[in-house]
């Protein structure tokens, strides 16, 4: 009986703890993205140059370099808001998973790298941004899994409503 209560407490509080961690990481980063800090300019500028260099995404490179921080920050803000409400926590976690998957991709497969330049002196963060991205990625998957019932209910009810309108 005692072990069951401990499991119930863990399952009750774990998704909240992870969701709040993700939301705090996202909200904390908004200052840098919305003020267009040096770090943001470096990150999105490096990715923009990479996009232009591969040719396929050249059409979007300048816009991404100039406005990518604002766009990503806006989506992160929406995800953070959704994460702190029980009913929308799974959707917020799915948004976090998508955004952070992109961040991890750019860290690993572009000149941005795992250790990012953080100031005009050329100092690097030692991989802190990347480590936080990996933590957010894992935690968002856990929240999605733990809140899969609400995700299924949301999409299940929409699917059922769609089926009724088609009949």
Q: Tell me the per-residue pLDDT of 41-60, one tens digit each, with 9 for 90 and over.
A: 999 999 999 999 998 788 99
Q: What angle do CA 16, 91, 114 make, to 5 degrees?
A: 80
Q: Which residue has the higher pLDDT, 5 or 99?
A: 99
pLDDT value, residue 159: 52
Mean pLDDT in the chain?
90
| Paired tokens of 136 | 């957010």
Does residue 137 have a pLDDT over 80? yes
Task: State the sign of the Cα–Cα–Cα–Cα dihedral 112, 117, 118, 124.
Answer: positive
Mean pLDDT value across residues 118-123: 93
Q: What is the pLDDT of residue 47?
A: 96
In a 3-state reduction of DSSP, which class is residue 37?
A: coil
pLDDT at 157 exceeding the cut of 80: no
In the chain, where are the structural domains located?
2-166
Confidence grade of residue 158 (pLDDT, cut at 50, 70, 90): low
d(CA 96, CA 143): 10
Contact 162, 133 (CB under 8 A): no
Confidence of residue 163 (pLDDT cuts 50, 70, 90): low
Percentage of the chain with pLDDT > 70?
A: 91
Q: Which of 9, 30, 25, 8 is nearest to 139 (CA)?
A: 25
């Amino acid at each position: 009986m005692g072990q069951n209560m401990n499991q119930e407490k863990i399952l009750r509080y774990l998704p909240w703890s992870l969701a709040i961690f993700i939301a705090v990481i996202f909200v904390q980063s908004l200052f840098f993205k919305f003020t267009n800090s040096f770090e943001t300019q470096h990150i999105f500028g490096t990715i923009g140059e990479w996009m232009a260099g591969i040719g396929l995404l050249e059409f979007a490179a300048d816009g991404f370099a100039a406005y990518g921080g604002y766009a990503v920050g806006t989506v992160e803000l929406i995800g953070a808001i959704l994460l702190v409400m029980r009913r929308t926590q799974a959707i917020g976690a799915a948004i976090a998973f998508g955004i952070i998957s992109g961040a991890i991709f750019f860290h690993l497969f572009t000149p941005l790298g795992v250790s990012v330049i953080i100031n005009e002196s050329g100092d690097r963060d030692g991989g802190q941004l990347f480590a936080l991205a990996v933590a957010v990625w894992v935690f968002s998957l856990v929240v999605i899994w733990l809140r899969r019932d609400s995700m299924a209910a949301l999409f299940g009810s929409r699917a059922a409503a769609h089926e009724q309108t088609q009949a």
